[in-house]
Protein backbone atom coordinates (compact mmCIF):
# COMPACT_ATOMS: atom_id res chain seq x y z
CA UNK A 1 0.00 0.00 0.00
CA UNK A 2 1.27 3.47 -0.92
CA UNK A 3 -0.01 6.82 0.29
CA UNK A 4 0.60 9.74 -2.08
CA UNK A 5 0.32 13.13 -0.44
CA UNK A 6 2.26 15.86 1.32
CA UNK A 7 4.26 15.34 4.49
CA UNK A 8 3.02 18.72 5.76
CA UNK A 9 -0.67 17.92 5.14
CA UNK A 10 -2.65 17.19 8.34
CA UNK A 11 -5.04 14.88 6.49
CA UNK A 12 -2.12 12.91 5.06
CA UNK A 13 -0.64 12.65 8.55
CA UNK A 14 -3.91 11.13 9.80
CA UNK A 15 -3.86 8.60 6.96
CA UNK A 16 -0.22 7.71 7.66
CA UNK A 17 -0.98 7.22 11.35
CA UNK A 18 -3.98 5.01 10.57
CA UNK A 19 -2.04 2.99 7.96
CA UNK A 20 1.38 2.53 9.60
CA UNK A 21 2.48 -0.22 7.22
CA UNK A 22 1.93 1.88 4.10
CA UNK A 23 4.79 3.46 2.18
CA UNK A 24 4.54 7.23 1.78
CA UNK A 25 5.42 9.33 -1.26
CA UNK A 26 5.55 13.11 -0.90
CA UNK A 27 4.32 14.37 -4.26
CA UNK A 28 5.96 17.76 -3.71
CA UNK A 29 9.38 16.06 -3.64
CA UNK A 30 8.85 13.07 -5.91
CA UNK A 31 5.81 13.88 -8.05
CA UNK A 32 3.10 11.40 -8.89
CA UNK A 33 4.25 8.52 -11.13
CA UNK A 34 2.74 8.75 -14.61
CA UNK A 35 1.03 5.37 -14.47
CA UNK A 36 -0.52 6.17 -11.07
CA UNK A 37 -1.72 9.55 -12.34
CA UNK A 38 -3.23 7.96 -15.45
CA UNK A 39 -5.06 5.32 -13.37
CA UNK A 40 -6.26 7.92 -10.86
CA UNK A 41 -7.52 10.19 -13.66
CA UNK A 42 -9.36 7.25 -15.21
CA UNK A 43 -11.03 6.47 -11.88
CA UNK A 44 -11.61 9.93 -10.38
CA UNK A 45 -11.43 12.37 -13.29
CA UNK A 46 -11.51 16.03 -12.28
CA UNK A 47 -12.27 15.04 -8.68
CA UNK A 48 -8.52 14.45 -8.42
CA UNK A 49 -8.03 18.24 -8.50
CA UNK A 50 -8.21 20.09 -5.20
CA UNK A 51 -9.69 23.40 -6.28
CA UNK A 52 -9.82 24.58 -2.67
CA UNK A 53 -6.05 24.36 -2.20
CA UNK A 54 -3.63 27.23 -1.83
CA UNK A 55 -1.82 25.95 -4.92
CA UNK A 56 -5.00 26.20 -7.01
CA UNK A 57 -5.74 29.71 -5.75
CA UNK A 58 -2.24 30.76 -6.75
CA UNK A 59 -2.52 29.52 -10.35
CA UNK A 60 -3.15 31.89 -13.22
CA UNK A 61 -5.95 31.36 -15.74
CA UNK A 62 -3.54 29.81 -18.25
CA UNK A 63 -2.50 27.10 -15.78
CA UNK A 64 -6.09 26.46 -14.68
CA UNK A 65 -7.03 25.91 -18.33
CA UNK A 66 -4.66 22.92 -18.61
CA UNK A 67 -6.09 19.43 -18.70
CA UNK A 68 -6.28 18.08 -15.13
CA UNK A 69 -3.59 15.41 -15.68
CA UNK A 70 -1.16 17.95 -17.15
CA UNK A 71 -1.88 20.40 -14.35
CA UNK A 72 -1.09 17.72 -11.73
CA UNK A 73 2.09 16.77 -13.60
CA UNK A 74 3.24 20.39 -13.45
CA UNK A 75 1.87 21.19 -9.99
CA UNK A 76 1.49 17.92 -8.01
CA UNK A 77 0.39 19.80 -4.87
CA UNK A 78 -2.92 20.64 -6.58
CA UNK A 79 -3.91 16.97 -6.27
CA UNK A 80 -6.56 16.10 -3.70
CA UNK A 81 -4.93 14.20 -0.85
CA UNK A 82 -4.25 11.58 0.16
CA UNK A 83 -4.37 9.16 -2.74
CA UNK A 84 -4.03 5.65 -1.34
CA UNK A 85 -3.06 2.90 -3.77
CA UNK A 86 -3.42 -0.70 -2.67
CA UNK A 87 -2.72 -2.91 -5.65
CA UNK A 88 -5.39 -2.16 -8.26
CA UNK A 89 -7.59 -0.34 -5.72
CA UNK A 90 -7.39 3.45 -5.29
CA UNK A 91 -8.99 5.56 -2.59
CA UNK A 92 -9.03 9.36 -2.74
CA UNK A 93 -9.32 11.58 0.34
CA UNK A 94 -9.67 10.66 3.99
CA UNK A 95 -13.38 10.88 4.77
CA UNK A 96 -15.37 8.14 6.49
CA UNK A 97 -16.09 6.40 3.18
CA UNK A 98 -12.39 6.30 2.29
CA UNK A 99 -11.51 4.99 5.72
CA UNK A 100 -14.19 2.31 5.50
CA UNK A 101 -12.97 1.28 2.05
CA UNK A 102 -9.52 0.72 3.56
CA UNK A 103 -10.85 -1.07 6.63
CA UNK A 104 -9.82 1.69 9.05
CA UNK A 105 -12.09 2.10 12.07
CA UNK A 106 -12.20 3.68 15.51
CA UNK A 107 -9.28 5.53 17.05
CA UNK A 108 -6.96 4.77 14.11
CA UNK A 109 -8.68 7.35 11.89
CA UNK A 110 -7.23 10.39 13.60
CA UNK A 111 -10.51 12.25 13.17
pLDDT tens-place string over residues 59-96: 999 999 999 999 999 999 999 999 999 998 999 999 99
Does the structure show a pLDDT above 70 at 110?
Answer: no
Banded model confidence at residue 108, pLDDT cuts 50, 70, 90: very low
- Round to whole Å and give the CA distance between 85 and 101: 12
Contact of 110 with 13, CB cutoff 8 Å: yes
Share of the chain above pLDDT 90, in %: 87
Q: Which domains does the chain have, with CATH numbers?
A: 2-80+94-109 (3.40.30.10)
Is the overall model pTM greater than 0.75, yes or no? yes
Report the b/e string of 42-64 with b at 16+ CB within 10 A.
eebeeebbbeebebbeebeeeee
Q: Nearest to residue 46, comparing CAs of 16, 62, 70, 63?
A: 70
Banded model confidence at residue 106, pLDDT cuts 50, 70, 90: low
- Round to whole Å and give the CA distance between 72 and 100: 27
DSSP tally for the chain: helices H, then strands E: 7, 4
The pLDDT of residue 109 is: 46
- Provide the annotated active-site residues: 9
- Round to whole Å and give the CA distance between 19 and 95: 14
Bridge-based pairing state of the strands 83-86 and 23-26: unpaired
Amino acid sequence: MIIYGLKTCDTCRKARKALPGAAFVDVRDEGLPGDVLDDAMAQFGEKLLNTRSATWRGLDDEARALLPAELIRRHPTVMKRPLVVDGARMVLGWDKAAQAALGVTGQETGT
